Structure 1
Amino acid sequence: MMDWKNLLCPQRIRELHGGRASARDEQELRTEFDRDYDRAVFSTPVRRLQDKTQVFPLEPHDAVRTRLTHSMEVSTLARGLARAVTRRLVSTQRIDPDQASGIEVIAATCGLIHDVGNPPFGHAGEKAISSWFKNRVERDPGFFGEFDAHPLQDQLRQDFLCFEGNAQTLRIVSKLQLLADRHGLNLTVGTLSAAMKYTAASHQTGKTGKAVSEHKPGYFASEQGVVDKIRKATGTQTARNPIASLVEASDDTIYATVDLEDGVKKGVITWAELEQAIPDEAPSAARDFIREQLKAASDYISSHIEHEPELALKGRALDEAKAQHFRTVVIAKTKGAVLQSFDSHYDALMNGSYRGELIADSTANALIQACKEVGRKHVYSSAQTLRLELLGRRVIHDLMDLFWEGVALHDGVTPGPGFAGKIYNLLSRNYRAVFEQACKQSPLPKSYHRFQLVTDYVCGMTDTFACKLHSELTHG
């Protein structure tokens, strides 16, 4: 059984590695978890999210969401959900007010950082990285040859063939974002534990009967030591931290609704089409309820127009207003349903036996799933989105080809000869430092770290930087 005292462990990852504790000013009023949130806000990976794709790559419309605005919204909802949950836990004396505050802040921080590991061009970028490795292996079956004699050979391969942004997030915040040492943002163990949405290694996923938290890779082999320390300190072992389930519910709620709102704003779907499509995608038993939510959003806007006709909206502006209010209606309904789901599954969440998702096990599931399906069919598959995703795939493949040439012969000390050394020097100095240190100290094959250096650099790019660099390096 997990307990909140251990889950809210305030120790920082550097301390668990035997390093010094963080200095604390006598006038400091923030808790350690408050400091985590502030470190995230001021960090480069979070700042880069302002120019990373949410749905529409290289979007010129400044009102359409980026990864940063999406992450801010997830953070806000996660904090609100955590606040509602902790009030109930305090009232039943399962936690105290200080612990309630810690849970709130951790949820907000995890919402803010949950996508920092995503490469440029969103999920299409993840697929592009995986496909680059698959294409290399098809052309050269010995591409992963150095892994063959290693006991973790399956995991080492799958780390790249099934590249996952969530695992890259843990890598960034625990290692890559260098401040004063090699421990990334040096976050607390409590925050790092809750940030692990998925709990399985890459070779353990995709198997029948797995829990939802094991559907995707949660960490790479290179972070196994970090994961082991987090699990031991928090007492989660291989189970998911309960706060992670709240953040997951917040993420699902936000993207299911606001992506439709952005689709209307972009003109790829109209309000009339949404009114028809969303109920059509739901089970018959849920259609009347969903139509009620759509009607409530439409009637709310119409009633305001009747009272203030001089402010009447028309055309796409009216569609946008209705879509925006529908988003608020859905979020409110889903929030209440998730709270009930958390209450119902609390014991299973705390003893590590819960295998589902809070939304999937709630009364809001049909509504959210219908929204997601409409997004898949009408927003994510729009012609303009697909064209830009194809562009992103080409950009990522070309950049990885180029930087692999600069890394392939590097032994961790000396760059490859000739032009390869020049290419190597184009890579981020921080990432090169992490790579060279890993080659000296890690038991993993050097080729594993070479692959990671390339993926680290590409993942850290924004959409605009990736396109600009691609243009400069391929046709000037």
Structure 2
Amino acid sequence: MSLAPYASRATQSRGRRHATTDSPTRSEFQRDRDRIIHSTAFRRLQHKTQVFLHHEGQHFRTRLTHTLEVSQIARSIARALRLDEDLAEAVALAHDLGHTPFGHAGERVLAELMAPYGGFDHNLQALRVVTLLENRYAEHDGLNLSWETLEGMLKHNGPFDGDMAALADIPDGPALEPQTYASLEAQVAAIADDIAYDAHDIDDALRAGLLTPSDLRAVPLVGPIAEEVVGRWPDIEPGRQAHEIQRRLITRMIEDAIRASDQRIAALAPQSADAVRGAGQGFIAFSSPLAADEARLKAFLFERVYRHDSVMAPVRASQDVVAALFKRYMQAGDMPGRWGAAFAAASGAGPKARIVADFIAGMTDPYALAEYSRLFDASPLLG
């Protein structure tokens, strides 16, 4: 398949911070994808919460399975729009590397505790992971990803609207043109994330018993799908109904995003990836009717799933764990290995707090609980 004029091209990449030799078998974006998959931070996603806290033996999504699902959806959309699938996949695979243990609950706590020290944002943390904190290579810190992948990680949700000073600690952060839009491939990764969240959180909620297919019948977007599935297969087991609803919802959202995005691209007719960046608006989006329905679906999920007592009770306990760890490390610096040494060598509360935040953000759920037990001789009850 030939790439569209507005697609990113690996042969025209703006390069890497550290020079490398060319690969005879892989493009620059394929190399990025492979470096991300082989990173320690990527493996840790297996034991980080998505929505439901991870418990062995349950088949709910983790941050890793969510990431893999996002990458598959991103490739599908990128292929249909004649974009570079490998760049879309690389951004999708990396987009959650900065997430804390215990999902958004952990991020909220770190953001609050880090407010006096420059704040905390999972997108910026992902950039810290791939440029500073991964330390596997002999010649440099970080994964040495291409400019395009780093840009996509920073701006897949749109131009960076945070404190520009927060980019100062990230190598080449200001050079990522934070106030422009990202490539279409990065924008595709963002909408793939939305599709995965909506469809898979419904699936997990159905499997957890928080929702039934009947509960969905009056909900925008998913309601007609639930009616269709239950009407056609009223007597099959609930797990099969849940899967039929999920896969049909994914298909409907993907097809709408492709149609609507293709129309926007045709109307604005960018002739290069840089023209996309300079257009002053995003290209990849749902149609207006589906976008309105999707917003109402998200509101339904927030009320009925994300704020459900069975979800919120362990969330509150996990927030207490993260807060206790942060305060203890700031007081005593008793982190293992290089983290404790870096904390001792740092001068000032701000740099010390950033080391603590980096350490906690990299934890898996089980490791955070183990550290809590080590430090406080107690085991928090997460449900």
Structure 1 residues 232-251: aligned runs within 5 Å = 238-251=180-193
Whichever residue aligns with residue 63 of structure 1, its letter is H
Counterpart of 2:263 in structure 1 is: 344
User: What is the RMSD computed on CA atoms of the aligned residues?
Assistant: 3.0
- The 8 Å contact of residues 50 and 67 in structure 1, kept in 2 or not, is answered as yes
| Equivalent residue, structure 1, for 2:80 | 84
Q: Secondary structure at the match of 1:469?
A: helix
For residue 459 of structure 1, the aligned residue among 337, 361, 378 is 361
Give, in angstroms, the shift of residue 214 of structure 1: 4.4
* Higher Rg of the two aligned structures: 1
Whole-Å separation in 2 of the counterparts to 1:345 and 1:195: 23
Structure 2 counterpart of 1:472, from 366, 374, 377: 374
Paired position in structure 1 for 2:106: 125
Native 8 Å contact 2:161 2:179 kept in 1: no
AA aligned to 1:298 is V
CA 261–338 in structure 1, closer or farther in 2 if over 3 Å, else same: same
Which residue matches 1:324?
A: 243
Unaligned runs of 5+ in 2: 379-383
Change (3 A) 1:8 1:341: farther
Aligned length: 366
Aligned residue among 295, 298, 302 for 1:369:
295
Residue aligning to 1:207: none
2:37 alignment partner in structure 1: 41
Q: Give, in angstroms, the shift of residue 32 of structure 1.
A: 1.9
Aligned to 1:378: 304
Structure 1 residue 267 corresponds to structure 2 residue 209 = yes
Assess if the C-alpha contact under 8 Å between 2:159 and 2:180 holds in 1: no
CA deviation profile, 1:293-342 (whole Å, cap 9, x unmatched): 2223334545xxxxxxxxx64xxxx2332222111111111112111222
Distance 2:163 2:248 in 1: 33
Residue of structure 1 equivalent to 2:66: 70
Structure 1 match to 2:175: 229
| Aligned position for 1:13 | 16
TM value normalised by structure 2:
0.85
Residue equivalent to 2:326: 400
Aligned residue for 1:429?
A: 338
Instruction: Judge conservation of contact 2:61–2:204 (CA < 8 Å) in 1.
Output: yes
- Per the alignment, residue 20 of structure 2 pairs with 22
CA drift at 1:75: 0.5
Whether the aligned pair in 2 keeps the contact of 1:58 and 1:463 (CA below 8 Å) is: yes
Cα distance change of structure 1 residues 359 and 229 upon mapping to structure 2, 3 Å threshold: closer
Of 386-395 and 266-275, deviating more is 266-275
Quick check: 1:260–1:371 contact (8 Å CA) kept in 2? Answer: no
Structure 1: which 5+ residue stretches go unaligned? 16-20, 87-99, 135-143, 145-156, 200-211, 280-288, 303-311, 408-422, 440-444
Cα 1:379/1:222, change in 2 over 3 Å: same
Q: 1:197 aligns with which of 133, 146, 155?
A: 155
Report the Cα offset of residue 119 of structure 1.
0.4
1:114 maps onto 2:114 in alignment: no
Q: Following the alignment from structure 1 to structure 2, what is the Cα–Cα distance between the partners of residues 351 and 35?
A: 23
Q: Deviations over 1:216-256 (max 9, x none)?
A: 6799334455123333xxxx863333222111100001101
Matches of 1:345 and 1:196, distance apart in 2: 23
TM-score by length of 1: 0.69
Residues 122-172 of structure 1, C-alpha deviation per residue, up to 9 Å, x if partnerless?
1111111123346xxxxxxxxx5xxxxxxxxxxxx5x32xx2111101111
Conserved in 1, the CA contact under 8 Å of 2:339 and 2:359? Answer: no
Identify the residue that residue 297 of structure 1 maps to in structure 2: 229
Residues 323-377 of structure 1: per-residue CA shift (max 9 Å, x gap): 2211111111111211122223333771534445743554421332233122101
After superposition, the Cα gap between the structure-2 partners of 1:331 and 1:449, relative to the gap in structure 1 and judged at 3 Å, is same
State the Cα deviation string for residues 64-97 of structure 1 (Å, max 9, x = none): 11000000000000011101111xxxxxxxxxxx
Q: 1:437-461, CA deviations, whole angstroms, 9 ceiling, x for partnerless residues?
A: xx6xxxxx85432221010000000
Partners of 2:48 and 2:135 in 1: CA distance: 21
